[in-house]
Structure 1
Amino acid sequence: MHAAYKYILIVLPFLLSGCIKPLDFEAEEPAKMLVVSGMITDEPGPYTVNLTTTFKYGSYFSDIEPSVRNAEVTISDENGKTVTLKETHPGVYETDSAAIRGRVGGKYTLRVKLRDGKQYVSETEELRAAQPIDRVYARLKPVVIVNEKNDQVTVNYVSILVDTKDPGNERNFYRWIFNNTYEVTTQPENFMGVDHNGKPVPAPKDCCHQCWVSEKSSVVNVREDLQFNGNALVGQEVSKIPFKPRYFQNKHFVEVRQFAISEGAYRFWKTLDDQIAGTGSVQEPAPANAVSNIKNEANPQEQVLGYFSAAGVSKKSFFIQPFDFGIYAGTFVFPDDCRIISGATTKRPSFW
């Protein structure tokens, strides 16, 4: 995150709205729980911790509720160094970029004190060295899906793959995060408005036709080395992108970060990954068995969601060119200002 990671919370399978007459019954007050996400790495800071809350209804969680404001958040190491994080946005706490930097072998602990006096502390996480990424590359991947007509059709995706070498002298746990930036070309001069009768009429816009769109993958992607201990891991898929004109009319930048995480962090993310890979129904149980490493100091039985981790990082990046796969994705048809696309900017990235 910058480092911000979103936790998967299951929504209620129903909404209560539009009641004609109030119902006369007593409902149990839902339990409110703290949600914490944060990580320190051996990359330069700042490091970010997000604090939110959620409500528990029986075995299910509601959507994330408002951010937790005005908390005291600190990260400390085994040498007694402690840094205080500043709230930069509601519920988002950051270190000063020069205040602390994670180091291999360092042991880090997160502490949170809320306005009501409750204090939470994470288990200590040791920062492990990340294995270098040997190679990151892309392959065109046909995937069979069921379309809106309930027909099976084959669509193309671009699979982002990683090769790395496991050291073999200990158990190792991996997590991958994928970020991408791509250039879009749109047609604001073809924008259509409506007249006073509601009929479409040409309403060309002066700006803008060239933008760069940045995205961050929210896919949970973790693995342990039981099946390849001490050997090469080849072709680990970390993400896939639809092979559509929006993404591949122009060149496309890909960055993959490989994290050396702890066994506890692996178990946490693997539990979430397994749940997401289930039916996807809102009737799925909430991720209560994704064991957090954060506890209420005065009441260890209180359930807290999320995880604070320390991890070494290695990364590689590359460009995908429009004709790398021997076929052209086509022209992106978008008759509007490209700046309205989520994550878009007209500022050319420094790495472009």
Structure 2
Amino acid sequence: MINKKYLIIYSLLLCLVSCEEVIDLPLDDMSGKIVIEGAVTDEDGPYFVQVTRSRKISFEDSGSVRVANATVVITDDQGQTDTLKYENGVYKTVNLVTNYGRVYTLSVTVDGVTYKSTSKMPEYVEFEGLKQTTLFNGSEDGVGIIPIFTDPSEKGNYYLFKSNKTNLDLSPAYTVMSDDIGNGEVNVKPISNKITLKKNDTIQVEMRSVDASVYKYFKALPLSTLENSGVSVTPTNPPSNISNGALGYFSAHTTSTKDIIIK
């Protein structure tokens, strides 16, 4: 006969294990924090900045409230200044023109507090195409995708790849790369896949050349959120490049998108 005391302990342990995938413990309450997400690219504008305030709805749920009364300004190191207009829940540039190598500063003022971020747009790196490859996933061979580009000879280049199936409404997969390995060479590293790729699937991949601060932000994302589960695994957030304790990021980057059909 099983001792009741051990049965109770076993039941509690079983409950903890089974609940691990569905409970997001409030290790760090970020309610009330300003969250800023914005970008300028080498494509024609307008460009957009979203400003929200995080809130705790309940123990199990959280959300955000859009901030409509912020003053949002983007300037660059060539003297441009653009005050963004609030429209349909986001702030939109009016006449900002971008170029490679320029430094952009985002300033967001909410309730008398100003949050700032600076990002430099890298030089353009050509996105030449996508190549299908075979990857071993630990149990069997799977399909992998390699973005083709040639890293510049100068050290200090950073890339972000955003990928997803074009026919599915799924959150995209993000992959970051740097030239710490393979500086000045043609890339041979695959991007990550969150879903199984099958024949005739169409995959869309966006390549961004980003600065070091944006690279660090997205590199830290897997440490903050367990991919595909929404379970928080640390009490911290990715290292924002925005001042005064705001969450989120601001990025000045290049962008190019290509598709590949799995064979």
Give the one of 89, 92, 95 matched to 2:93: 95
Structure 2, unaligned runs of 5 or more: 1-22
Measured after TM superposition, the shift of residue 272 of structure 1 is: 1.5
Asked whether 1:48 is paired with 2:48, we answer yes
| Map of 1:129 onto structure 2 | 123
| Map of 1:222 onto structure 2 | 176
With over 3 angstroms needed to count, the CA separation of the structure-2 counterparts of 1:117 and 1:105, relative to structure 1, is same
Asked whether 1:32 is paired with 2:27, we answer no
| Residues 149-197 of structure 1 deviation map (CA, whole Å, 9 limit, x = unaligned) | xxxxx68864332122111222111111125423xxxxxxxxxxxxxxx
With over 3 angstroms needed to count, the CA separation of the structure-2 counterparts of 1:102 and 1:180, relative to structure 1, is farther
**Mapping of 1:66-105 within 5 angstroms?**
66-90=65-89, 92-96=90-94, 99-105=95-101
Report the residue type matching 1:314 in the other structure.
Answer: S
With over 3 angstroms needed to count, the CA separation of the structure-2 counterparts of 1:48 and 1:156, relative to structure 1, is farther
Counterpart contact for 1:128–1:261, Cα < 8 Å: yes
Report the residue type matching 1:95 in the other structure.
Answer: T
**What is the count of residue pairs matched by the alignment?**
238
Measured after TM superposition, the shift of residue 137 of structure 1 is: 2.9
With over 3 angstroms needed to count, the CA separation of the structure-2 counterparts of 1:174 and 1:216, relative to structure 1, is farther
Q: Given the two structures, how large is their TM-score scaled by the length of structure 1?
A: 0.58
Asked whether 1:269 is paired with 2:199, we answer no
**Mapping of 1:146-185 within 5 angstroms?**
158-182=143-167
Report the residue type matching 1:53 in the other structure.
Answer: R
| Residues 96-123 of structure 1 deviation map (CA, whole Å, 9 limit, x = unaligned) | 4xx2232101110111122x2222221x
Query: What SS class does the counterpart of residue 187 from structure 2 fall into?
Result: strand
Residues in 2 aligned to 1:279 and 1:39: alpha-carbon distance in whole angstroms = 25
Residues in 1 aligned to 2:153 and 2:107: alpha-carbon distance in whole angstroms = 34
Report the residue type matching 1:233 in the other structure.
Answer: N
| Map of 1:119 onto structure 2 | 114
- The structure with the larger Rg is 1
Query: What SS class does the counterpart of residue 215 from structure 2 fall into?
Result: helix
Residues in 2 aligned to 1:70 and 1:51: alpha-carbon distance in whole angstroms = 10
| Residues 29-65 of structure 1 deviation map (CA, whole Å, 9 limit, x = unaligned) | 9752111111111112221211122258xxx997332
Measured after TM superposition, the shift of residue 267 of structure 1 is: 1.4
Give the one of 278, 290, 308 matched to 2:250: 308
| Map of 1:237 onto structure 2 | 191
Report the residue type matching 1:103 in the other structure.
Answer: N
With over 3 angstroms needed to count, the CA separation of the structure-2 counterparts of 1:140 and 1:228, relative to structure 1, is closer
With over 3 angstroms needed to count, the CA separation of the structure-2 counterparts of 1:274 and 1:164, relative to structure 1, is farther
| Map of 1:299 onto structure 2 | none
Q: Given the two structures, how large is their TM-score scaled by the length of structure 2?
A: 0.75
Query: What SS class does the counterpart of residue 147 from structure 2 fall into?
Result: strand
| Map of 2:5 onto structure 1 | none
Query: What SS class does the counterpart of residue 267 from structure 1 fall into?
Result: helix
Counterpart contact for 2:224–2:232, Cα < 8 Å: no
Residues in 2 aligned to 1:156 and 1:240: alpha-carbon distance in whole angstroms = 15
With over 3 angstroms needed to count, the CA separation of the structure-2 counterparts of 1:278 and 1:30, relative to structure 1, is closer
> What is the RMSD computed on CA atoms of the aligned residues?
3.4
Counterpart contact for 2:223–2:233, Cα < 8 Å: no
Measured after TM superposition, the shift of residue 94 of structure 1 is: 2.1
Counterpart contact for 2:148–2:186, Cα < 8 Å: yes
Asked whether 1:317 is paired with 2:253, we answer no
Identical pairs, percent? 30
Give the one of 288, 293, 298 matched to 2:241: 293
With over 3 angstroms needed to count, the CA separation of the structure-2 counterparts of 1:279 and 1:161, relative to structure 1, is closer
